[in-house]
Structure 1
Amino acid sequence: MQSPVRWGILGTARITRRVAPAIQSAPAAKLIAIASRSEEKAKAWAEKYECPQIVESYEQLLERDDVDVVYIPLPPHLHAEWTIKAAQAGKHVLCEKPLALNALEAETMVNACQQAGVCFEEGVMWYHHPRATQIRDILNQGRLGEIRRVTSAFSFPWQSSVEPSEEYRFKQEQGGGSLMDLGWYCVGASLWTLGMLPEEVFGREVLDGSVDESFSGWMRFANGAEAAFDCSRNMTSRRWIEIAGTEGSIVCDDFTRPWQEEKTRFWIHDAQGNAEVVNCEAATQETCLIENFSQRILTGQLDNQQSLGLKTQQVMDRLLKSAKSKRNENEF
């Protein structure tokens, strides 16, 4: 396959406002077409993001010979269906998180892409920022000693012009809830840091209707390390992580997305409390993701990231099961 990799997008979800410009600015990518079931929305979107082609249906986009990869920003309950259809059509797939409603669905998606010989990845962008590479290098160098605990939080006060009845994040059957929407980043970051699945998990949810408005989780790993997190859509904006070892710690107060792209940084604290600020290369993480995924397609690296997404989904299932099984315990 020759560069640039040709991209199509299924739907005009809000996240495409960031991803479309990223495709336009990534050297190895080119935006070809947008598919939407609303012609009016598609026309407005295509004009705003300079997309040359409008396709009336998702099926028609998958049939196009001039599209190599599809980005799927649809609600989670549609991810499995359209990932499998895209793979069967020979398209590489970048799928938004959460990957699916559960781990079984996620496994079918991964298997379909493996059988079709196409690239598949979850759309978590911070993994691709240069800052993540710097943090990984420090962990690999052993500067923190033995990692003992990962603590993280992701929350924001929900404000949207979309009615709750029309928003999938408020519907359990469509993959809603703060754990699936926000906790995914915290769980994934813990697995990314420690490189293994937990042996034990505990979850605690605060419900709003059928979905969790807030969620707290804890994980214990075979090497004795622990991870704890909380996520919420009724709290002030927080997106921080601490990775603590026997000889030092890393603190990042905006790991899911830099508060300011031009001031991307994190801190290293030694055992005596001395803090070192590590300034990072300024970059747009959406563009980094699109470029890295496009390069994977060009070089044939098929299974680079799919295992982390699948493992994250597996842990999410266990956390939700824990929260529901303990819902009525310890009540006064």
Structure 2
Amino acid sequence: MALEDAFDDFTHRDWVQETVDGTVRLAVVGIGGFARNRALPGIAAGRYCETTALVTGSPDRARTIAGEFDVEHVIGYDAFRAGNHAETYDAVYVATPNSTHGEYAIAAAEHGKHVLCEKPLETTVDRAEEIVDACSDNGVTLMTAYRLQTEPVVRRTREFVRDGVIGEVVQVHGGFAHPLLDHAGPDTWRLDPDLAGGGALVDLGVYPLNTTRYVLDCDPTAVYATTRSNGGPFADVDEHVAFQLEFPTGATASCTASFDAHASSQLELVGTDGKIAISSPFGGVVPQDIVVESGEMRTEYTGPPVDEVCEEFDYFGYCVLTGADPEPDGADGVADLRAIEAAYESAETERRVALE
């Protein structure tokens, strides 16, 4: 790849292989803050999905949201599990607390509905594999909601790596800090280990973990991790985490995540012939700022803003409509959970843990 030409049409959707008509009707399962503020607007702004049902524990209180987004059907959780009004949607987006992903994703699959499930796919490998099996058995599409895999700056980074623009990747540095209590109360489900499956590692560390696996196009072979909590509202989960991943290529990734630090996110790949640095990749709105050094050439690029949530739903809808297999599939979600479980084991035993 000629670096001077690499930024032409930077935001193109390389995953679009054919023209397709129609939309996928979505039931949004769980209408918490992210679903209300990001997912529903992202779906509405996109091309290949439309929201036709909301699934919530408080249907009466959800009428205002339904009216705002012109959603005709509001369904309770029990009615959803029973298959009531299943004819009003083709697929579901599961945005409930992590430990409940399985019950709703599996119920949807058993009703013949495609599934886009928030990350992590579940709270354990075994429970995530149950989702994968249910979707496979029922012949429906399963996508784990790794929206960064549909985001242009990350997709272009993977292309740079594949094309050897920075030589062989030697080191990856990734970090994501988000002051949780600035945006949520101490009773948030994210601080309940039974609902969340962990703390900063599960909620934030999964971003550099998955993105590193994606751009390197391989899985880690070992992990070493440390966790720390200062008590208080973080007493039951990891408040801070640092973990190192080893890859079969010889590359290592050093990653951090924190629930109680100044908001920050960064990703840097250092290769034998250059490096790539992405500004704020994990914070929800990627500014499309990237610096690429290749040999003696250094390029700074700022692209047009892209709503990665809209990209994610359009990508999912496109895959369903065309029968394509999404890249962030169920196996991708399971692989991250294997690494997360190994990281927690490492933090507890203070030892490096090998991955199968």
TM-score, normalisation: structure 1: 0.91
1:99 paired residue number: 121
Match of 2:324 in 1: 301
1:3 to 22, 39, 52: 22
Q: 2:16: which partner in 1?
A: none
Q: Check 1:58–1:300 CA distance in 2 against 1; reply closer, same or farther (3 A cut).
A: farther
Q: Deviations over 1:155-202 (max 9, x none)?
A: 02223564423x111111112401000001011012112222222210
Of the three residues 39, 42, 48, the one matched with 2:59 is 39
Contact 2:154/2:215 (CA < 8 Å) preserved in 1?
Answer: no
Structure 2 equivalent of residue 330 of structure 1 = none
After superposition, residues 11-160 of structure 1 pair within 5 angstroms as: 11-16=30-35, 17-57=37-77, 59-60=79-80, 62-63=83-84, 64-160=86-182
Residue 67 and residue 258 in structure 1: after superposition, are their counterparts in 2 closer, same or farther (change >3 A)? closer
User: Could you give the per-residue CA deviations for residues 133-165 of structure 1, whole angstroms, max 9, x where no partner exists?
Assistant: 221221121111001111100002223564423
Corresponding position of 2:12: none
- Residues 1:249 and 1:50: Cα distance change in structure 2 (over 3 Å): same
Matching residue within 189, 193, 210 for 2:215: 193
Native 8 Å contact 1:35 1:58 kept in 2: no
Q: Deviations over 1:241-261 (max 9, x none)?
A: 0011100110012112465x6
Report the Cα distance in structure 2 between the residues aligned to 1:126 and 1:54, rounded to whole angstroms.
29
Aligned to 1:127, the other structure's residue is in SS state: helix
Query: Is the CA contact (8 Å cut-off) linking 1:151 and 1:228 kept in structure 2?
Result: yes
Residue type of the partner of 1:286? V
Matched position secondary structure for 1:101 = coil
Q: Is the 8 A contact 1:179 1:215 kept in 2?
A: yes
The answer to whether the 8 A contact 2:161-2:216 is kept is no
d(CA) in 1 for partners of 2:158, 2:144: 19
Letter in 2 for 1:10: V
Measured after TM superposition, the shift of residue 288 of structure 1 is 0.5
Partner in structure 1 of residue 9 of structure 2: none
Secondary structure of 2:61's aligned partner: helix
CA shift digits 1:29-66 (9 cap, x unpaired): 11101111113331122133332221233533744112
Q: Which residue identity does 2:348 align to in structure 1?
A: K
After superposition, the C-alpha distances for 1:278-304 in whole angstroms (9 at most, x for unaligned) are: 233432111100001000001112353
Compared CA separation, residues 160 and 265, structure 1 to 2 (3 A): closer
Match of 1:317 in 2: 341
Structure 1 CA distance for aligned equivalents of residues 242 and 262 of structure 2: 16
Quick one: percent identity of the two aligned structures? Answer: 24
Change (3 A) 1:184 1:258: closer
Q: Write the distance in 2 (CA, Å) between the matches of 1:148 and 1:60.
A: 48
Aligned to 2:194: 173
Matches of 1:67 and 1:169, distance apart in 2: 29
The one-letter code sitting in structure 2 at the alignment partner of 1:304 is E
**C-alpha distance in structure 1 between counterparts of 2:262 and 2:147, whole Å:** 22
Contact 1:130 1:281 in 2 (8 A): no
Aligned with 2:62: secondary structure?
helix
Q: CA deviation at 1:124?
A: 2.0
**Where does residue 282 of structure 2 map in the other structure?**
256
> Which SS does the other structure have where 2:57 is aligned?
coil
- Check if 1:286 corresponds to 2:304: no
Aligned length: 323
> Structure 1 stretches of 5 or more lacking a match?
328-332
CA distance in 2, matches of 1:70, 1:280: 32
> The residue matched to 1:240 in structure 2 has which SS?
strand
Label 1:48 to 1:58 Cα distance change in 2 as closer, same or farther (>3 A): farther
Does the 8 Å CA contact 1:28/1:294 hold for their aligned counterparts? yes
Deviation per residue, 1:68-102 (Å, 9 max, x gap): 01011100010111111111111111111111111
Once residues 284 and 295 of structure 2 are traced to their aligned partners in structure 1, the CA distance between those partners, rounded to angstroms, is 26
